[in-house]
Amino acid sequence: METRIINRIKNIGMLIAGISAVGFLVLLILSLQIAESQHLACPGLTAGCTALGHFPLLAFIGLAALAALIFSGGWIYVKAGRELAYSMQTRTGLLEAAKRLRGEEKALYDFVVQNEGTAFQNDIVKSLSYSKVKVSRILDRLETKGLIERRRRGMANLVILKSS
């Protein structure tokens, strides 16, 4: 996943958690004020009447829903953060592996890069003037290193750079 998208998801998680936390606090304060005012107006003030007994039932439901939203937003934020860290680590590893390429592997890898990250295996054979077997073996090595991926498209293989 692209880092911009992951960052947006992470920010949305933080926004959900933040707005929910503010809503939770506002609802809690208002509910406590309502309960306290009803408690003070209670005729049986000394006969076991508590402020908690006047706490609105819908407030409990609202607080539970907001708590769930806080948890969900936090979970989204943490999950996206981990995904972003993993993506960056993987991307760094791929760049390091690509820098270490030499000779025919580098030529083939560069050809795919120049073709916007995708090329048909037949086009690689024609453009680099390598045999089909040689291209297949080089692609095997690049695939083992995690730099490319081959996908069948009818009778041909599509070579795709791995971005993360």
User: What would the pLDDT profile of 8-44 be if each residue is shown by its tens digit?
Assistant: 999 999 999 999 999 999 999 999 998 888 877 777 6
Total domains in the fold of the chain: 2
Output b/e per residue, 79-111; b: 16+ Cβ within 10 A: ebbebbeebeeeeeebeeebeebeeebeebbee
CATH number of the domain bearing residue 156 = 1.10.10.10
Same domain assignment for residues 148 and 73? no
In this prediction the pTM is 0.57
If you average pLDDT over every residue of the chain, what do you get?
Answer: 86
Q: Is 139 exposed, middle or buried (0-12, 13-18, 19+ CB in 10 A)?
A: buried
Spacing of C-alpha 70 from chain mean position: 18
Q: Which of 63, 82, 98 is the last residue of a domain?
A: 98
The domain in which residue 153 lies consists of 103-161
> Do residues 87 and 142 share a domain?
no
Same structural domain, 87 and 148? no
Residues with Cβ < 8 Å from 122, sequence gap 6 or more?
156
The distance in angstroms from the start CA to the end CA of the chain is: 7
Query: Which of 83, 98, 113 corresponds to the end of one domain?
Result: 98
pLDDT-based confidence at residue 65 (cuts at 50, 70, 90): very high
Considering the domain architecture, whether residues 108 and 91 belong to the same structural domain is answered as no
Is 66 in the same domain as 136?
no
- CA 138, 141, 147, 148 torsion: positive or negative? positive
